Amino acid sequence: MKQNPKRPPPVPAPGGPTLADQVGAKAARKLKARRSATPGVWFGLGMMGLIGWSVVVPTLLGAALGLWLDQHQHQSGGRSWTLALLVAGLTIGCFNAWHWVAREDQAMHDELDEKEQGDD
pLDDT score at 105: 84
pLDDT score at 120: 56
**pLDDT: which is higher, 10 or 32:** 32
Query: Residue 1: pLDDT above 60?
Result: no
Using CB atoms within 10 Å of the CB of residue 108, give its burial: 0 to 12 exposed, 13 to 18 middle, 19+ buried.
Answer: exposed
Give the start-to-end residue ranges of the domains of the chain: 59-120
In Å, how far from its chain's centre is CA 33?
A: 16
pLDDT score at 50: 84
Q: Which of 5-19, 27-41, 49-63 has the highest mean pLDDT?
A: 49-63
pLDDT score at 37: 64
CB atoms within 10 A of CB 54: 19
| Mean pLDDT estimate for the chain | 81
Task: Using pLDDT thresholds of 50, 70 and 90, give the confidence band for residue 91.
Answer: very high
